[in-house]
Structure 1
Amino acid sequence: MHLAQQTILVVMMVVFSSTLVMAAGLVLALRANEAGRLWAVGHVIASGAGLVIAASASAGSAELGALGAGAYVFGRLTIYRGVRVYYGMSEHAALLHGVGFVTLVLLMLLTGLPDGSRLVHGLAYGLLALISFFTVITMLRSARGRRSIGSPLVLASHLVLLISQVAALSYGATFKGFEVTPFFLQPEGSVWLLAPLVAVLLGLFGFCLMSMEQIIARNESGARTDALTGLLNRGALDMLAISMIARWQRNGEALSCLVIDVDYFKLVNDTHGHHAGDNVLREIATALDNSRRASDIAARYGGEEFCILCPHTDEHQATALANRILRKVRAIELPGAGGHASVSIGVAELRGGPSSREGLWRSLFATADRALYQAKQRGRDQFMLASSMIEETPVGDALQSVTEPQMIV
């Protein structure tokens, strides 16, 4: 099946008009997502440039075509920046902006030459092929891309674009003396020449999916982490604790719990304000995170209280972690002339108790919390093993300490 050039131009304008409207809406929807915002802005620029190119082909204006081609290259470079941001790479904004600007100026200057049209098409297609190639390589090298639903669509889109661009360059170099003729300027072309337009739509859809996946992942992460410290929050800790206790029930693997409370924290807040107190909490959270092993789970339990769960670790092995925490926290300077921070730590190992997993978790935390209380009474800035406590507190009082704040600060 063959399509007339006028039909291809009409399809081209319909496709780019659609992508322009969709991308413009996505600019607002994805404004809080850096990669998504770059993708949307890039598609807005590329779609607008596509309409300019189609209009220039209808009017026969070489200058307008060069302007559209330069803008289209700039839009694809912006999309490539978004890909790099998505995969956590440096976006090279200044470099890519410079390439886009130089390309636009160069394309406009080439229109004044006798072979200007041929040079414009060749340079534009060559740069677009390079952009597609680097985008494909960037995505293939990223393990994260293979886990995304939208990335295969984007990858397929750029592969189609790359193949069509290389094919146009190869055909022009082989049969037409290095004269590249864009698909929309073919006097009579196969329906397969519309593949680049389909690829543009496919890519936009894939980018939308990738952006949505990233937003959802961040929202889920935000629901699990404490906004102030970046550690897990209490809800996430409870869920992970239940799963660890289930493993303890199945395999009997040791599981220890450290409950950590900042000493004299109320005094910091009262003397220097809550902003200074927040800074102290952030520094202590960093110390906890840097002290734990990769398998340990650290969380902010509430207020100035933290908790670390240590799988495959008995109570005495957990003392090594407690000592590391004490040393790192002692290096944190308090605001003003307040000296250095300190924490008190209660350490307990899961040994048994209620039959339910929730009950076992409450019992383990309560035991470590009781040990923490003893460490406070003995002078603070130290840890206390639950097994070494001389005076035992009734179980009812221990469970109550999980929900009621300690009076000692």
Structure 2
Amino acid sequence: MSIQLDFRTLSLTLMLFSLVFGLGMFAYSREHPKFSGIKIIGVGYFLIGGGCVLLGLRHFIHDFASIVLSNMAIVMGVVLIYRGLFNFLDISLRFERWLSLALVMLLAPVLYFYTFHIPDISMRIQAFSIVFAAACFIGVSGLLQHHEIHSRIVVKMLIAMFLLLGIFFTFRFLWAFYEAPPNNFMEAGLLSALTIIAGEFLVILSSFATIWMASDKLQDEISETARTDPLTGLYNRRAFDECCDIEFSRAQRLDTPFVIIMCDLDHFKKVNDQHGHHVGDQVLKHFAAVLKDRIRQEDVAARFGGEEFVLLLPHSNTEQGLQIAEQLREKAAATQIKVDDAISLTISASFGVAHNYATDSTWGAVLQRADNALYAAKKQGRNRVVGSGVSEPEFTSRQ
């Protein structure tokens, strides 16, 4: 029993799939313009759909359109799909542009030659199959460079898709050496019909994966927004609490030290009163940049509220905390802040430093000691670093 699949009907279904999913990609790209590459994928779908229209009109339109242009459009569509995925995932593959261009440029004269000079359906099938397979393998090689954790499952799915398609079209290329040359491409048999189904597989799975990855990115942005102070870009109080919960549990389990530093901008209210909240916001952004620039990668900086900031320093003792706080104090005091090329300000900050004890039941006790030390620093004249639990000559530093 042989399975018969109508080539024109399959071409029509692939055209409809490509049109619908292409429109979907364009609509999604319009709603989310920050996601680069989605519109390119949509154009790729349209090219595949257009190629299928021309392919389905074989014997009704000129052979140049139904053979040469149709196959080139389909291959260009595949190229744009993986190009769009590369852009979306921020993948840069060396020589990819030249390789992609070479595939299309090499296919065109081969199809033309074996259509009008030496008509040979088998050679056209082989040329299209090997070029399609090469395009799929380029997609695989690019996606293998992606290492982002959140989209790893989806990328593996895309790699598997391109790999399977590449293997299938390589087999189609090799099989053409052994099968009897067909008299009519529209009746070329089951394997040729399966190439259309493979195209449907490409369109459906790549669009599904793209929306999946876009949803993951949107979810990550929402989660990050919920943990980030919108003005300074530092963590907010909620995120800081979560980090402290983790560090306190680790410190209790492994008996390791950590330090919390509370800091407060001196006389910040005067800045707002004299220059306005716009200038005050610039001062806060500047001080946040100082914190981010001076702390270690494993440290956590957060805006605690208003002009108060807080730092968590894992695997650190009081002496290390005092040194880092002093560096921050000196950097803040030594920098002039220019706003709108008209206002130039210098700021100072006070710091309170505290480390954990084995007897602490929560990290809140460490935070309270750091806050008390900060209060002492402001009481002693501001613009200084004070450590908790040490005599003043040892733990205070002044400008």
Report the TM range for the smaller structure's normalisation.
0.7 to 0.9
Conservation of the 8 A alpha-carbon contact between 1:67 and 1:107: no
Residue number among 267, 282, 287 corresponding to 2:290 in the alignment: 287
Query: How far apart, in 1, do the equivalents of 2:231 and 2:102 lie?
Result: 40
The change in CA–CA distance for 1:87 and 1:26 in structure 2 (over 3 A counts) is: closer
Residue number among 368, 375, 388 corresponding to 2:377 in the alignment: 375
Aligned partner of residue 56 in structure 2, secondary structure: helix
The change in CA–CA distance for 1:79 and 1:285 in structure 2 (over 3 A counts) is: farther
Q: Higher mean Cα deviation, 57-66 or 8-17?
A: 57-66
Which blocks of at least 5 consecutive residues in structure 1 are unaligned? Answer: 391-409
Aligned partner of residue 345 in structure 1, secondary structure: strand
The change in CA–CA distance for 1:164 and 1:60 in structure 2 (over 3 A counts) is: farther
Query: How far apart, in 2, do the equivalents of 1:58 and 1:364 lie?
Result: 82
Q: Does 1:344 align with 2:350?
A: yes
Query: How far apart, in 2, do the equivalents of 1:127 and 1:272 lie?
Result: 65
Q: For residues 151-194 of structure 1, what are the alpha-carbon distances to aligned partners after superposition, in whole Å with 9 as ceiling and x for unaligned?
A: 2221122112212333344455x569xx9x9x974522247543
Residue number among 205, 215, 218 corresponding to 1:202 in the alignment: 205
Aligned letter for 1:350?
Answer: N
Conservation of the 8 A alpha-carbon contact between 2:91 and 2:146: no
Aligned letter for 2:368?
Answer: A
Q: For residues 51-109 of structure 1, what are the alpha-carbon distances to aligned partners after superposition, in whole Å with 9 as ceiling and x for unaligned?
A: 424433363533433444444344333322332234333489x958x949985996799
Shift of residue 374 of structure 1?
2.3
Q: Does 1:223 align with 2:222?
A: no
Q: For residues 109-129 of structure 1, what are the alpha-carbon distances to aligned partners after superposition, in whole Å with 9 as ceiling and x for unaligned?
A: 958963599798776655543
The change in CA–CA distance for 1:329 and 1:302 in structure 2 (over 3 A counts) is: same
Query: How far apart, in 2, do the equivalents of 1:264 and 1:115 lie?
Result: 87
Residue number among 109, 116, 136 corresponding to 1:132 in the alignment: 136
Matched with 2:63 is: 62
The change in CA–CA distance for 1:281 and 1:127 in structure 2 (over 3 A counts) is: farther
Conservation of the 8 A alpha-carbon contact between 1:125 and 1:169: yes
Aligned letter for 2:46?
Answer: I
TM-score in terms of structure 1 length: 0.77
Conservation of the 8 A alpha-carbon contact between 1:254 and 1:349: yes
Shift of residue 257 of structure 1?
0.2
Matched with 1:89 is: 91
Conservation of the 8 A alpha-carbon contact between 1:257 and 1:349: yes
The change in CA–CA distance for 1:342 and 1:48 in structure 2 (over 3 A counts) is: farther
Aligned letter for 2:83?
Answer: R
Q: Does 1:213 align with 2:216?
A: yes
Matched with 1:13 is: 12
The change in CA–CA distance for 1:79 and 1:229 in structure 2 (over 3 A counts) is: farther
Aligned letter for 1:338?
Answer: S
Shift of residue 320 of structure 1?
2.1
Query: How far apart, in 1, do the equivalents of 2:256 and 2:110 lie?
Result: 71
Residue number among 324, 328, 331 corresponding to 1:325 in the alignment: 328
Aligned partner of residue 34 in structure 1, secondary structure: coil
Aligned letter for 1:11?
Answer: L
Matched with 2:266 is: 263
Query: How far apart, in 2, do the equivalents of 1:337 and 1:264 lie?
Result: 17
Conservation of the 8 A alpha-carbon contact between 2:64 and 2:112: no
Aligned partner of residue 150 in structure 1, secondary structure: helix
Shift of residue 24 of structure 1?
2.0
Tell me the number of residue pairs that the alignment of Structure 1 and Structure 2 aligns: 381
Percent of matched pairs sharing the same residue: 26
Residue number among 145, 148, 157 corresponding to 1:144 in the alignment: 148
Aligned letter for 1:12?
Answer: S
Conservation of the 8 A alpha-carbon contact between 1:345 and 1:372: yes
TM-score in terms of structure 2 length: 0.79
Query: How far apart, in 2, do the equivalents of 1:364 and 1:9 lie?
Result: 74
Matched with 2:74 is: 72
The change in CA–CA distance for 1:105 and 1:168 in structure 2 (over 3 A counts) is: closer
Aligned letter for 2:78?
Answer: R
